[in-house]
Amino acid sequence: MAYPIILAFILEISIQGIGYSVFQNLIENILFAVLIFLAINQLSGIKFGKKIANILIIFFYLILIIETGLFLLFQTRFNASYIYVILNTNYNEVKEFSSVYYNYNLFWLLLFLVPLLSVFSKKIYKQVKANTINLIGSLILIVFVLSVLKFSELIIYNLPYIAVKSYGQYQDQVNSINTFKDQEEYFDTKLVTENETIVVVIGESATSKHMGIYGYHRETTPRFSKLSDSLIVYNDVISSHAYTTGSIYDIFTLSNYENPKKSTPLISFIKNAGYKVFWLSSQRPIGFHDNLVSRLASAADESLFLNYNDYLNKTPYDEVLLPKLKEKLTIEGKKVIFVNITGNHYAYEKRYPKEFDKFSSDNNTKKSKIIDTYDNAILYTDFVVSEMIKTVQQEELKSALIYFSDHGEEVYDTSDFFGHFEDKPTSTMYEVPFLVYMSPSFERPLDFTIDESRAYMLDDFPHSLTHFMGIESDLLKKERSIFSDKFKARKRIIQDSLDFNTFKLLNKK
Ligand SMILES: [Zn+2]
């Protein structure tokens, strides 16, 4: 039993390098083996004892093979998003985005077959005389090892445990989505324009402060700049929160700081107006921060998630969304396609392929490395989003694309750290890009006007998008639309408590 443990350990290290989780998994595997061993020890007196012992060892082997196989393929450990993606995606799609990982690694699994199982089990299965003292001793040891696994939290590396637990989380999420769908609201809407396709790209942790098109000293957005004649670049847009769920909730419902409990979903208006709604995401569907987003997304007619890994691990590059977007664009009929990219979330260096490793500083400090990798990630987002714009352009429909980010990011701009935390807010965590592309034939609503300098907060996005699309309803207010000539600037209260303008003045470096 030592062989598969050591092999699993070596294969994991060869993939991920010597990391914390690899060692934790090693210890968990050893404890798991001890448990199996203790159980086998008690089987000798029993009828079929030897058979059960063999089954246990084969079980142990299989678990390690599956666990290592998943790790080799996807560099992830089993989790609830994994189940969701597999069950909600067809085989070809799984294959397609799995190809960003190294499939040939799977061959290493053959090494697990080197020792023949029978030879192995004979060695382990010893004739221990069953007696009460031995039994009690083993039981105490089993309880002890289980407690160590549980309280050290090493148990999260145990595949059988995590598979059962993940399935529970998956079921919970499916149930909560179904409850959410049952509450879907239907109300009267009027459609005053006739457009065909609207694409809304929701970025992740992108601050406008690191974009060339917004005046950043590095040219991180050369493709946006090239397109600038056909882009409207709003330069004073902020998010209402500095974390995904807080901000996304405000963006996708009528909720804002004045009415935090107004939960009418944006997608309901769009569907009521006769549009088909798609949600394409390179983020994962289930996770502490992801559940709420996918619940809101579930209001869409169709949704597709292409990732099941944590941000800290390798995730598929956002370009996996490009063929999906193309495919949806060719579907006939009025449609809105939301595209949720992984964008610029830490770990930045894992968000872009090698070709985008452009910015580097002479001084090799941790800080300059962080800034370089963040800027490279922005450069990659510039590529992905402008490719999306080009795709929409090529379709030659009555169409438009809007890109913004869920919130910004501090990257040593106003403070000496990086990330986004509401308990340590900085202005760059709220300052987001907001770009609009309209095709030449796009039908604008009557009171449409362009003023790129409007001070605007994304919690009013439902009012803006619906107005932009010509959807009218009693619940929607033109004075909250960044595109309306009836727009009224309002106080921008972030975190439901801080006036952004005052906060920014105090936050200046
Ligand atoms: Zn976010």
C-alpha 244 to ligand 1 mean position (Å): 4
Q: Hey, is 285 helix, strand or coil? A: coil
**pLDDT tens digits along 340-363:** 999 999 989 999 999 999 999 888
Write the CA distances from 283 to 86, 180, 340, integer angstroms. Answer: 14, 20, 7
Place of tokens 């509401």: 422
Q: Does domain 187-507 have CATH number 3.40.50.10330?
A: no
Length of the chain: 509
C-alpha 459 to ligand 1 mean position (Å): 14
Ion ligand 1 neighbours (CB, 5 A) are: 204, 244, 406
Mean pLDDT of all residues in 446-456: 96
Please say whether the beta carbons of 294 and 285 come within 8 A: yes
Query: Can you tell me the distance from the alpha carbon of 244 to that of 239, in angstroms, rounded to the nearest whole number?
Result: 10
Query: Can you tell me the distance from the alpha carbon of 376 to that of 361, in angstroms, rounded to the nearest whole number?
Result: 12
C-alpha 420 to ligand 1 mean position (Å): 8
Q: What is the pLDDT of residue 481?
A: 97
C-alpha 62 to ligand 1 mean position (Å): 37
Mean pLDDT of all residues in 157-167: 85
C-alpha 506 to ligand 1 mean position (Å): 24
Q: What is the pLDDT of residue 500?
A: 96
C-alpha 165 to ligand 1 mean position (Å): 26
Please say whether the beta carbons of 177 and 84 come within 8 A: no
C-alpha 84 to ligand 1 mean position (Å): 21
Hey, which bits of 366-487 come out as E strands? 399-405, 410-411, 418-419, 431-438, 456-457, 471-472
Q: What is the pLDDT of residue 509?
A: 56
Query: Does position 508 have pLDDT exceeding 90, yes or no?
Result: no
pTM strictly above 0.85:
no
Query: Does position 339 have pLDDT exceeding 70, yes or no?
Result: yes
Query: Can you tell me the distance from the alpha carbon of 212 to that of 375, in angstroms, rounded to the nearest whole number?
Result: 10
Query: Does position 308 have pLDDT exceeding 70, yes or no?
Result: yes
Q: Where are the domains of the chain?
A: 2-177, 187-507
C-alpha 463 to ligand 1 mean position (Å): 21
Query: Can you tell me the distance from the alpha carbon of 486 to that of 451, in angstroms, rounded to the nearest whole number?
Result: 12
C-alpha 246 to ligand 1 mean position (Å): 9
Among residues 3, 32, 312, the alpha carbon closest in space to that of 154 is found at 32
With a CB cutoff of 8 Å and minimum separation 6, the contacts of 299 are: 180, 181, 184, 265, 267, 268, 271, 277
Query: Can you tell me the distance from the alpha carbon of 209 to that of 216, in angstroms, rounded to the nearest whole number?
Result: 6
Q: What is the pLDDT of residue 86?
A: 67
Query: Does position 293 have pLDDT exceeding 80, yes or no?
Result: yes
C-alpha 139 to ligand 1 mean position (Å): 47
**pLDDT tens digits along 229-271:** 999 999 999 999 999 988 999 999 999 999 888 888 999 999 9
Please say whether the beta carbons of 225 and 233 come within 8 A: no
C-alpha 205 to ligand 1 mean position (Å): 5
Hey, which bits of 156-275 come out as E strands? 190-191, 197-203, 231-238
Q: What is the pLDDT of residue 21?
A: 79
Residues above pLDDT 70, as percent of the chain: 90
C-alpha 129 to ligand 1 mean position (Å): 60
Please say whether the beta carbons of 430 and 242 come within 8 A: yes
Residue 423 pLDDT level (bands cut at 50, 70, 90): confident
Residue 78 pLDDT level (bands cut at 50, 70, 90): confident
Mean pLDDT of all residues in 478-500: 95
Q: What is the pLDDT of residue 92?
A: 56
Residue 388 pLDDT level (bands cut at 50, 70, 90): very high
Plot region of 404 (φ>0 → left; ψ -120 to 50 → alpha; else → beta)? beta
C-alpha 170 to ligand 1 mean position (Å): 22
C-alpha 29 to ligand 1 mean position (Å): 34
**Pair type for strands 231-238 and 302-305:** unpaired
C-alpha 344 to ligand 1 mean position (Å): 9
C-alpha 243 to ligand 1 mean position (Å): 5
C-alpha 214 to ligand 1 mean position (Å): 20
- Tokens (6 digits) for 78: 């089993």
